[in-house]
Chains A and B, each alone.
Chain A
């Protein structure tokens, strides 16, 4: 039991003001893209011509509605900013009631804007990007499905509702990664993503079950109100199980391997799902469950460790990849590691985790779309060794990408600076070791991003034959510009500490951490580290010609990084190979032992019958003999009974 003395700030209770006015339209935010998906997927070929417009319109309408709702929320008092809309009772079993409720509060409001906003831009971009794909309509259907599911995830007021969205985005991710499913690699990557996510779902399932067993309900309102009463063991258990779930969805160690493969999907998918929104769901889950995590030091420590490991792993992997999308994917892992780390810091870090999540959503989507634009011009080649000198050929892409680059590096005043610095600062305040990890990560980030920029835009032309790079059409560059603007200006959210104040009612108050050194010095240190990373990249990559084929004689570290730090190899050796062998053995066991027992009994009886059958020789006289013998026995038995 957590005593009140040891915990000055109890986590806030999730409020539930009933919806009224404009907020009663909350359900429409989800319904619009869901309807779009339904029309596109069920309507079939009939919707081919206008399907993409419908999908874009649905998401854009959702975005407009989100904006309206957001301003509605802004206009309210702090206490009334947590709005609950009851849609219907989902299911009931004994005392367990799960309602289909939507919770619109400061946290989900931000997510709504991110999802629908970035989502709309990516829809627009996809109109151009997927123009020549004969299954474009279906692509947009899936995208709408994803947006709807993601909105369910962030709006649900119950863990089961979160689970619904959680799996919904998993499904959409599966469908979109495997969108080009005629490619075996894409199909395999899609399956891998889903299965690994399912491993994480074990955590969510059991976590939800443990929440029910502990609190008798799974709604945020009830759990947050009662969380301070729960035992430490239960809280830690829930925390760790939810962390497992977050690891699956957010590609954190040890469930990180699917994200790199997920780059088989079309680039807008990578931007929307595997950079900006879905992969950050784990962070959302932890922050949303602050009323659990704030009360359990042990689980938070685990979160921090996972975050640190992943942020370094992702960064290292990003350094060695020649595939532009995989390099960005490694970066995504790393950045989510930052967010998870921040979330693990407790009330001090929740707001910064979300803040970084938002800025990362802007600049990483920007860069992924930029990469998509590059690929568009390079005949879908993803190998950076075949790029070079694209700065001139694609000026808009370069410019927008450059802003994203500066943002991720954390160069002031771009968005990343504000969010990342805060995380590193808070980490140092919490624990120097954690802070150092975060700091090193920033340096490595600077290295691989600079490497990526240099290989892509600078240097000499290393283009393949027949490739004529060109700038992408307007429909693609306009979203790029919009995202670049957001990447540049995202930091404004923290003006006057707005985002912390905004989120505090949700995530809880915290005391200001006091660093040993002034914040400005800290920022300078970080900038120096970043600059060092850039310099190293310049010396290692920028100054030398880049071979068109990746050199094979490289250090073990590079080899390890290229092999994703042996994540797949580990899974293969520890899970898949024994699994396949085990299933083979089990199949043999089933046919020989289990079924063998049944069939064996049958065989024994059949053999016995084959022998007994011979008694039935067809000779009437034999039968008569048997009859007589039987009669004798009967007579003897009668005699025995009567005279015995």
Chain B
């Protein structure tokens, strides 16, 4: 019970945190906290097998998948806090609280009696006991889940697969296209400029400077620009200034 009283507040706090954090990554990490704690509770509840599964499958596989997608989608992963549907948040909280209170009150009305405990069931060990049930009484369901998993995997592949609607442009096509763009729109013909290179750090996030001292926007990745992690030109110039001044002083 000690574990419960320690972990329960942590879990509730982490879960509540999921409601308010703005970035998806943070939510994922908070979820990880909840799941790990749950795993520990499973152990306390005489379910060592599920403890392991919880850690490996949930925390290990599923959450990693989440993080992976967050990474892919993460460009605008942060949420706005402004609610767009009128009255939604208010009603959500009212109904949610009503639901929660109803549940808690309802449970409070019930007496569950003393727990029988799994000592007898786990007599020959938890894992063999589960295995025995799983592969006898639930073997059909178990086999069906395999089909489900395969279908899910296939489905994911199909969904994530990007259908190519046009033939892949060849080198020649690309060159021709570039020439056309140049002729029609005056797009820069040559390769894009490389980002500015400074010795102080990895500087793909810093635009190169043009001869007149302005930043060359084309020199940095669009993804970085969208994420807003680009170092602005004034910032750079200030740093440079600082460096210069420092240099002069020293």
Using a CB–CB cutoff of 8 Å, the interface residues on chain A facing chain B are: 617, 619, 621-622, 625, 628-629, 631-632, 635-636, 638-639, 643
Contact = CB atoms under 8 A, between A and B. Distances in A.
A617 B85 CA distance: 9
B91 to A, nearest CB: 6
Contacts of A632: 95, 98-99, 102
B106 A625 contact: no
Contact of B85 (A622, A629, A638, A643): A622
Grouping DSSP codes into helix (H, G, I), strand (E, B) and loop, the B interface class, with mixed when no group exceeds half, is helix
B13 to A, nearest CB: 23
B202 interface: no
Interface in B83-98: 85, 88, 91-92, 95-96, 98
B96 A622 contact: no
20 contacts: A619-B85, A619-B88, A621-B88, A621-B92, A625-B88, A625-B91, A628-B95, A628-B99, A629-B91, A631-B99, A632-B95, A632-B98, A632-B99, A635-B99, A635-B102, A635-B106, A636-B102, A638-B106, A639-B102, A639-B105
Interface in B108-136: 109
B103 interface: yes
B108 to A, nearest CB: 11
Contacts of B103: 635
Nearest to B92: A625
B176 to A, nearest CB: 44
Interface of B: 85, 88, 91-92, 95-96, 98-99, 102-103, 105-106, 109
B109 A625 contact: no
Contacts of B109: 639, 643
Contacts of B102: 632, 635-636, 639
B144 to A, nearest CB: 27
Contacts of A628: 95-96, 99
B98 A639 contact: no
Given A619-B85, A621-B92, 17 more contacts: A619-B88, A622-B85, A622-B88, A625-B91, A625-B92, A629-B91, A629-B95, A631-B99, A632-B95, A632-B98, A632-B99, A632-B102, A635-B103, A635-B106, A638-B106, A639-B102, A639-B109
A643 B111 CA distance: 13
B102 to A, nearest CB: 5
A413 to B, nearest CB: 110
A411 B200 CA distance: 148
A628 B94 CA distance: 11
**Which of A617, A619, A628 has the most C-beta atoms of chain B within 10 angstroms of its own C-beta?**
A628
B90 to A, nearest CB: 11
Contacts of A629: 91, 95
A217 to B, nearest CB: 81
B85 A621 contact: yes
The 10 closest A-B pairs by CB, nearest first: A632-B99, A629-B95, A639-B106, A635-B102, A628-B95, A632-B98, A643-B109, A619-B85, A625-B92, A636-B102
A636 B92 CA distance: 17
Contacts of B99: 628, 631-632, 635
Contacts of A622: 85, 88
A619 to B, nearest CB: 6
B125 to A, nearest CB: 38
Nearest to B109: A643
A632 B93 CA distance: 13
A617 B88 CA distance: 12
A643 B106 CA distance: 9
A364 B91 CA distance: 98
Contacts of A639: 102, 105-106, 109
A635 B102 CA distance: 7
A450 B88 CA distance: 103
Nearest to B91: A625
A617 B95 CA distance: 19
Nearest to B94: A629
A642 to B, nearest CB: 8
Contacts of B105: 639
A625 B102 CA distance: 16
B81 to A, nearest CB: 15
B110 to A, nearest CB: 9
Nearest to B96: A628
A621 B85 CA distance: 9
Contacts of B96: 628
Contacts of B98: 632
A639 B106 CA distance: 7
Contacts of B85: 617, 619, 621-622
Contacts of A635: 99, 102-103, 106
Contacts of A619: 85, 88
A503 B91 CA distance: 102
A488 B99 CA distance: 113
A178 B15 CA distance: 95
A636 B88 CA distance: 22
B99 to A, nearest CB: 5
B226 to A, nearest CB: 26
Nearest to B102: A635
**Which of A617, A619, A625, A636 has the most C-beta atoms of chain B within 10 angstroms of its own C-beta?**
A625
Contacts of A617: 85
B18 to A, nearest CB: 16
Nearest to B106: A639
B94 to A, nearest CB: 9
Nearest to B83: A621
A617 to B, nearest CB: 7
A625 B88 CA distance: 8
Contacts of B91: 625, 629
A628 B109 CA distance: 22
Nearest to A639: B106
A520 to B, nearest CB: 113
Contacts of B92: 621, 625
A620 to B, nearest CB: 11
Contacts of B88: 619, 621-622, 625
Contacts of A638: 106
Nearest to B101: A632
A195 B101 CA distance: 82
A617 B96 CA distance: 20
A248 B102 CA distance: 86
A53 B60 CA distance: 111
A418 B85 CA distance: 106
Contacts of B95: 625, 628-629, 632
Contacts of B106: 635, 638-639
Contacts of A643: 109
A417 B125 CA distance: 138
Nearest to A619: B85
B95 to A, nearest CB: 5
A422 to B, nearest CB: 102
A638 B98 CA distance: 15
A643 B110 CA distance: 10
B96 to A, nearest CB: 7
Nearest to A636: B102
Contacts of A621: 85, 88, 92
A625 B96 CA distance: 9
B127 to A, nearest CB: 36
A372 B149 CA distance: 104
A281 to B, nearest CB: 83
A330 to B, nearest CB: 86
A629 B98 CA distance: 9
**Which of A622, A631, A632, A638 has the most C-beta atoms of chain B within 10 angstroms of its own C-beta?**
A632
A86 B87 CA distance: 90
B19 to A, nearest CB: 13
A632 B94 CA distance: 11
A626 to B, nearest CB: 9
A622 B84 CA distance: 11
